[in-house]
Structure 1
Amino acid sequence: MPTLTLPLTTADDGTDYGAVYFNILKIPAEAVTDIRNRPHNANRVVCRINGGGVIYRGLMSDGHGGYILLISKEVRKQFQLEEGELVTIELSPDNSDYGTPLPPEAAELWEIDPEAREVFHTLTPGKQRGLLLLIDKLKRPESRAKKAVQIHEYLKATGGHLDYRELNAWFKAENR
């Protein structure tokens, strides 16, 4: 798997990507050829930062034949990264089913409630990943379990249709 040392730069620095508020790592195309030639999840990678923790990301085209990885403010804070700093990353293919680890609370819910699993899998992979991240970002297991149940009850009530505003209203109503 490729290990690269790259400067952390801004998205408006030589890319066609519009999210100018993000920092990015520019990845040369030749560095990720093997990863990109996979039949499944060809753009999804696991990125180890400075030999420490990992993040799950998608490789995005930079508009010039290379790729970029978005680095959010949250990730910069987590790994104490500063703009312009050299960052060492180790990229490996993301072979997970969802592009992120499956929270144990969601897996347990699916064992108990097969209908919840079925309705969840009617969503697009990106929406599935987003909802799993919504569950996984909570710190306490009880909170993650509650959020998993709320999300799946909402999806069952709407027949698998996901509207984030409705979902947030559902959360507020459930938490009263």
Structure 2
Amino acid sequence: MTFIAPLSRFPDSPLWGYYLPVSAEQAAPFVQGEHRRVVCHLQGHHTIYAALMPKDGAYFILINKQVRDQLGLALGDPVEIRLEADQSEYGMPMPDELQVTLAQDEMASRHFHALTPGKQRNLIYIVSRVKSTDSRIRKALAIAEHLNASRGKLDFKALNEVIKRYNNLR
């Protein structure tokens, strides 16, 4: 499904910023119970993985600053959106570095897969947001170490300390 929506902003929300509105009719093919994950192709060439977030009988897709900057978007600009159902296992692509690390560390894999889907995506994002393969490997190893040391209890402050230590191992 392809449509155009204006880049909008929640005026008084400390939590939410910029978003693309999606009508209930446009969202209907992609909302199945609690599953609302979609792949969004923006302006015909930029892809993001997102959730259709409910609001007042309709939905919206959050758009972060990085995406706005990459697409040169300003408030009110029309955005071409093509939606497709997200069929991926995690709601976004799993980076090879994290996949290999989890395949080699059975305990870390068990801890990872015991996490909620949102926490899994959060860890996937931590690894995938960096461009350097070496940095992605270090982040994946730090995540595995943290999951094992904490017995699967995710503590982002402690994880960041482990990541800092791994980043200094150059």
Give the TM-score taking structure 2 as reference length: 0.92
Moved more, 71-80 or 126-135: 71-80
Among 18, 23, 29, the alignment partner of 2:18 is 23
Question: Which runs of no fewer than 5 residues in structure 1 stay unpaired?
Answer: none
Among 121, 128, 138, the alignment partner of 2:113 is 121
Cα distance in 1 between the residues matched to 2:3 and 2:15: 23
Cα distance in 2 between the residues matched to 1:66 and 1:106: 35
Q: Secondary structure at the match of 1:108?
A: helix
Among 108, 117, 139, the alignment partner of 1:147 is 139
Cα distance in 2 between the residues matched to 1:131 and 1:146: 13
Identity %: 38
Cα distance in 1 between the residues matched to 2:164 and 2:27: 43
Q: CA deviation at 1:12?
A: 2.6
Cα distance in 2 between the residues matched to 1:91 and 1:42: 14
Read off the aligned partner of 1:98 and give its amino acid letter.
Answer: Y
Among 35, 42, 54, the alignment partner of 1:49 is 42
Cα distance in 2 between the residues matched to 1:141 and 1:169: 20
Read off the aligned partner of 1:33 and give its amino acid letter.
Answer: A
Give the TM-score taking structure 1 as reference length: 0.89
Matching of residues 1-176 of structure 1 within 5 Å? 2-12=1-11, 19-20=15-16, 22-37=17-32, 42-62=35-55, 64-176=56-168
Cα distance in 2 between the residues matched to 1:172 and 1:102: 22
Contact 2:135 2:167 in 1 (8 A): no
RMSD over equivalenced CA pairs, Å: 1.6
Q: Secondary structure at the match of 1:121?
A: helix
Q: CA deviation at 1:113?
A: 1.8
Cα distance in 1 between the residues matched to 2:54 and 2:29: 16
Question: Which runs of no fewer than 5 residues in structure 2 stay unpaired?
Answer: none
Cα distance in 2 between the residues matched to 1:60 and 1:160: 28
Q: CA deviation at 1:18?
A: 5.2
Contact 1:11 1:19 in 2 (8 A): no
